[in-house]
Structure 1
Amino acid sequence: MKRTFVIAALAAATTVLAGCGSGGETAGQAAAAPGGQPLAVVATTPEVADFVRNVGGSGVAVTQLIKPNVDPHDFEPTPADIQAISRAKIVVKNGVGLEEWLDRTIEASGFAGTVVDSSAGVSLREGGHSSEEDAHAAEDGEEHEHDPHIWHNPKNARIMVANIEKGLAAADPARAGVFAKNLTAYGSELDELDASTEAAFAKLPATDRKLVTNHDAFGYYVDRYRLEFVGSVIPSLDTSAELSARQLTGLVAKIKATGTKAIFTESSLPPRSAEAIAQQAGVKVVGGEDALFGDSLGAPGTPEGTYLGAERHNTEVIVSALAG
């Protein structure tokens, strides 16, 4: 209810801002791309925005809503965000419920374009559990929300960029050939990322492939590269949950029993709880510059500021720490 009120208030402020602008566009009009102008695209997350830039190239002008190292689970749109959506031709989202604020924001903006759900066709996993626990939950008839962190499997990223290319081509048919060519080139890079990540973990004994992270953001990564998910500091897909005393004791015991070597912090989350658990469990904390990119990417202009660079960073850090 609170978030709905905030979005409604922001929409009113955006209307005032739009009326004061000098661009000649009113809220609710989708920006066209005549005369070779770049296609106006709003992308929600850093990962999706990077995908759009790689597929769209110079043919798109991307407004990225969620900035690096901002927790997407706590994101609140600004008046500028609503205004950008109102002027866009396309809005591209991650999907799978990650942007639970988006539908209300789009409605408030008067957006008249197309929403591209990049998750369409991705095989979703149920979140909050390891694969074994998922199976037991299914047997018991329990229902769990789907894990939205789909991009951590490059094969899923392949599907996401194909969905994006299809959406861009439909909105700007004149550039369809360019978008298709860019997709082919970037798809090869995603294949190379997947192969190199698989090769990196192949050098690590299966008994050492144990992962403890800040929250349940790496389920698709764990499944793809056959790791063992021991647990997380925040036992949830989002970051609003808290570890109970019983869960804390259980996680520490599990870390000790499995011989897990490290707890990995994430760039968009504070490391204090992870550090406290690591101290009790007698294992090292991997953080600082080595923090994993779970929900975000690195700073623009750095290798980690791209999807490919962030995923390579994650793999290098995990393999190095677990091999030590």
Structure 2
Amino acid sequence: MSHRHRILALAAAAAALIPLTACDRADGAAPAGLTVVATTPEVADFARNVGGTHVTVTQLIKVGVDPHDYEPSPADIKAVGDAAVVLENGVGLEEWLAPAISSAGFRGPVVDASQGVTLRPEDPHIWHNPRNAKVMVGNIAKGLSAADPAHAADFATNSAAYTAQLDDLDRDNQAAFDALPAADRKLVTDHDAFGYYVDRYRLEFVGSVIPSMDTSAELSARQLTDLVAKIRATGTKAIFTESSLPPKTAEAIAKQAGVQVIGGEEALFGDSLGEPGTPEGTYLGAERHNTRVITAALAGR
């Protein structure tokens, strides 16, 4: 079955769901304010910070789910159909969104949070540079204000306050890497999700366990041998696994290369955030976690 046909089938299943719309919840209470659907955990977190009490945000891609493999459920399509505004990361990350919107019959505004970001070729992981996150937050604030002009002033105030926190994050990240010798700023990750982060903080990207942005790709035997050799030759100190990907291959490569593998609770948040209710369940907390883990390992701590 094609991807388009799967979306259509899910839309049919969504239509058969017991009604549970934005204004007909199980507890009988209407949602607060503007009904917003956000595709990714990062975009949803930005929307909650900008919208505050004036929005109810439904996040489609749940924590720990690989966004490259995500397909909307019937409930997700129904949520899109019930939304007042849809927010997306953009840059091709949500290839499934257009057919889902069509199948849901959604005709409202779709806000592409990536508008105005300087892009790396075929790399949708724009949020890993806090300066890009500021642009995303600005786009979301504009989208929410257009949909709910009565609360535009509050959205602007919330956006400014959150942008100040993004500036703090950026300064702290820069200071952490400035404390590392340039020769130690070498990064090997599960997949190539940290390009914007690498560029922002002037790191050297040695390679990735998965040789592309697509998490379904695999290293050939030659690529694996070359990566092990490059890790050894460059003196790279660690391989960093990611929270939404299995660590087995990274562990095998680290063993061959004679370096440590960083995983478990220290795994990086590459495509997702941490569990809701934890510090890492927010964008700011996840990014601070990433910088703390990376700099500690590269410093040999």
TM-score normalised by L of structure 1:
0.89
Structure 1: where are the runs of 5+ without partners? Answer: 27-34, 127-145
Aligned counterparts, 1:49-128, within 5 A = 49-126=44-121
CA deviations 1:157-189 (Å, max 9, x no partner) are 000000000000000000000000000100000
Of residues 282, 292, 312, the one that matches 2:258 is 282
Change (3 A) 1:2 1:229: same
Aligned to 1:261: 237
Q: Kindly provide the amino acid, as one letter, of the partner of residue 234 in structure 1.
A: I
Number of residue pairs matched by the alignment: 295
Aligned counterparts, 1:84-233, within 5 A = 84-126=79-121, 146-233=122-209
Offset of residue 240 of structure 1: 1.1
Q: Kindly provide the amino acid, as one letter, of the partner of residue 267 in structure 1.
A: S
How far apart are the structure 1 equivalents of 2:189 and 2:22? 48
Offset of residue 37 of structure 1: 4.4
Kindly report the root-mean-square deviation, in angstroms, between the aligned alpha carbons of the 2 structures: 1.6
Q: Kindly provide the amino acid, as one letter, of the partner of residue 109 in structure 1.
A: A
CA deviations 1:181-204 (Å, max 9, x no partner) are 000100000000000000000000
Question: Is 2:190–2:240's contact at 8 Å kept on the other side of the alignment?
Answer: yes
Change (3 A) 1:14 1:240: same
Aligned to 1:11: 11
2:239 match: secondary structure: strand
Q: Kindly provide the amino acid, as one letter, of the partner of residue 259 in structure 1.
A: G
Aligned to 1:21: 19
How far apart are the structure 1 equivalents of 2:116 and 2:239? 33
Aligned to 2:27: none
TM-score normalised by L of structure 2:
0.96
Offset of residue 36 of structure 1: 10
Change (3 A) 1:62 1:25: closer
Q: Kindly provide the amino acid, as one letter, of the partner of residue 168 in structure 1.
A: L
1:122 match: secondary structure: coil
1:233 match: secondary structure: strand
How far apart are the structure 2 equivalents of 1:176 and 1:82? 28
Change (3 A) 1:248 1:189: same
Q: Kindly provide the amino acid, as one letter, of the partner of residue 165 in structure 2.
A: E
